[in-house]
A and B are shown apart, each in its own frame.
Chain A
Amino acid sequence: MAKLTFDYEGCVALVTGAGRGLGFAIANALHEAGAIVAINDRTPDACTAAIARLGGGSRLIAAPADLSTADGPGQAVAQATGRGRLDFLVNNAAVNVERPIEATDDAHWDMHLHVILRASFLTVQAALPLLKASRGCVVNVASELGLHAIANNVAYVSAKHGLVAMTKAMAVELARDGVRANALCPGTMDTELMRDCAADSGDPDAYYAAFNRYHPVGRLASPDEIAAFVLCLLSPAADFMTGSAIAIDGGSTAGRL
């Protein structure tokens, strides 16, 4: 099969929530394409471990910060931009704890709204001077749940819808500065988190089967195929693309079988 390759040598990227899952896959893809990649996760250990898995070296920067706090996003950007340059900002960090609305409390609500939505605003704000200088690119990783809903996930669905709308407002405001912003809306991916959830469910096979059925294509996405698309979005091939909410969801928002 044809393989898309990109050359991002010399470019600097910050990927939030890059310790595992999709964030790690995006960081890996950018690193393989030659970019200097700042790895954000909640703890220094998580960043160090991800950097070790990527093979270490001078093109990997640890940018640990707790994005649920007001100061965390700025700290992540500061650590990523020590070289005075930033080309790509990938807001990928998220939390996703399912529970019925009547079991949601303030801490649950705030954690989702802060990490998914507010942190994505604050990183862009902090990175704006450097993104304008590089005519850089923002990818906000939303979700198919930024486009429609499922039950028992009210905080996540609200935050992801907010992220899609915020991306459009940012794209419009920053368009004349040459800064692009797009929202990527992936379907369910086969990540560590998914495997944990499947194990917790007591019947992993049934859990996977239900999510496979949910997507018309009959399978989950691999983090690597979503990461490959992120590299397309960051590339000159997508230069005319801004403010888009792109579903990459195996057809889950398109209709039902």
Chain B
Amino acid sequence: MEFAGKAILVTGSTRGIGAAAAELFLERGGSVVLHGRHQATVDAAAARLSTRHPGRVRGLAADLADRAQCRSFAKKVSALDILVNCGGIFREAPISETSLAMWDETIAVNLTASWVLSRELLPVLRQRTGTIVNVGSDAAMLGYAGCVAYCASKGAIVGLTRALATEAAPHIRVLCVCPGPTETDMMQESVAATPDEAQARKQWASYTLLGRVAAPREIGEAIVLAASPRATFMTGSIIMADGGATAGRRV
């Protein structure tokens, strides 16, 4: 049981990639703090996982767009081995239609919350052999039309990862897992907003060399590996779990 005795916090873990990672940590012995925006959703997710992993799950709610909430959230965590900054939002709009509010919210949730939580929890992580895993995106490396704020936020999270890794070494490892397109509610919402869902799904799959989107659990595995004692010489690493999306493409 690789994570026995380890305390793990995964933001954005009531669904999608965060939920898959949380479940893998639990299956391998860890104790997990689930996080979501609303208490009711977090409680429901915690109750569901508690039946299989009694005594090792608790749920805390906080709005990642709100720094004050991020800070009081961090204060509720007194012992921690692994912080996974996974919570994120994906808003699409052309440059001309990207509102200031959309920009600010995307940066706040996808980037600033990770800075706040890392900063507030570093002293706690330093008491153990702490690890931070940020969740980036292939969009950190590849520009996608129609989501300029999202791409900026994900590029910046790679920078945050490298800066934190440089500063927190050698005691604390900091890594970034960059998923490609993944079968999540986030993707479903994006696909549902298009006129032709099937075509949109094909488009997402076509971005990868594997010709398909990822299952959340496949990304969860990359996160768990990054956080595990199997990865002790990895820090500042940008781990592309993107089905080859950034490696190349067929013309």
Residues of B participating in the A interface, judged by any CB pair closer than 8 Å: 67, 94-96, 98, 100, 103-104, 107, 111-112, 115, 118-119, 122-123, 139-160, 162-168, 236
Contacts and interface: CB of A to CB of B under 8 A. Distances in A.
A151 B166 contact: yes
27 contacts: A100-B167, A118-B104, A121-B98, A121-B149, A148-B162, A149-B162, A151-B167, A152-B167, A155-B115, A158-B115, A159-B156, A161-B160, A162-B156, A164-B155, A165-B139, A165-B151, A165-B152, A166-B148, A168-B142, A168-B143, A169-B145, A169-B147, A169-B148, A169-B151, A172-B143, A172-B145, A173-B148
A104 B163 CA distance: 13
A161 B238 CA distance: 13
Contacts of B149: 121
B88 to A, nearest CB: 14
A183 B122 CA distance: 32
B152 A163 contact: yes
Given A106-B67, A153-B163, A167-B143, A173 B152 contact: no
Contact of A158 (B147, B148, B160, B168): B160
Classify chain A: how many residues form its interface, as a range: 35 or more
Q: For chain A, what secondary structure do more than half of its interface residues adopt (helix, strand, loop), or is it mixed?
A: helix
A165 B119 contact: no
Given A102-B119, A121-B149, A172-B143, A165 B155 contact: yes
B148 A146 contact: no
Interface string A137-162: 00000000110111111110111111
A247 to B, nearest CB: 15
A174 B146 CA distance: 10
A226 to B, nearest CB: 21
A196 B142 CA distance: 37
Contacts of A168: 141-143, 151, 155
A109 B115 contact: yes
Given A101-B167, A149-B162, A157-B163, A162 B152 contact: yes
A148 B98 CA distance: 28
